[in-house]
Amino acid sequence: MNELKKVLLAGIGLTSMTMEKADAFVKDLVEKGRLTVDEGKELQSELKRKGEAEAQEILNNLNQKTQAVQYATKEDVTRLEEKLNKVLSSLTQDKDE
């Protein structure tokens, strides 16, 4: 689960970098006169809104998919190892007899 969060955070970081590049691109268009200042601001806010909505959707999907998953705890693994050791031990004792 922890690795999945790291991957997701990396994706969000990339989205942030993309938003910065999009902002720079919009500013460049405004400076070159291809967009008005108002159009540039509107485009920037729309891009930001869409980016945040997509990131939230990804987080919601991730939460929904991971809620049903039950991960084994260290105690669960230890308990299973102990049971396995008992079974293996009894099998070796049966062979020796």
pLDDT in tens, 12-36: 666 666 778 878 888 888 888 887 8
Kindly state the DSSP code that residue 97 receives in the 8-state scheme: -
* pLDDT in the model for residue 27: 85
Distance CA 46, CA 52 (A): 10
CB atoms within 10 A of CB 2: 5
* pLDDT in the model for residue 17: 66
Residue 7 structure tokens: 């991957």
* pLDDT in the model for residue 55: 78
* pLDDT in the model for residue 75: 94
pLDDT below 70 — which residues of the chain? 1-10, 12-17, 96-97
- How many angstroms from the chain centroid is the CA of residue 88? 40
* pLDDT in the model for residue 54: 81
- Angle CA(77)–CA(79)–CA(81) in degrees, nearest 5? 70
From residue 74, alpha-carbon distances to 15, 31, 71, 77, 86 in Å are 35, 58, 10, 5, 18
**pTM (2 d.p.):** 0.49
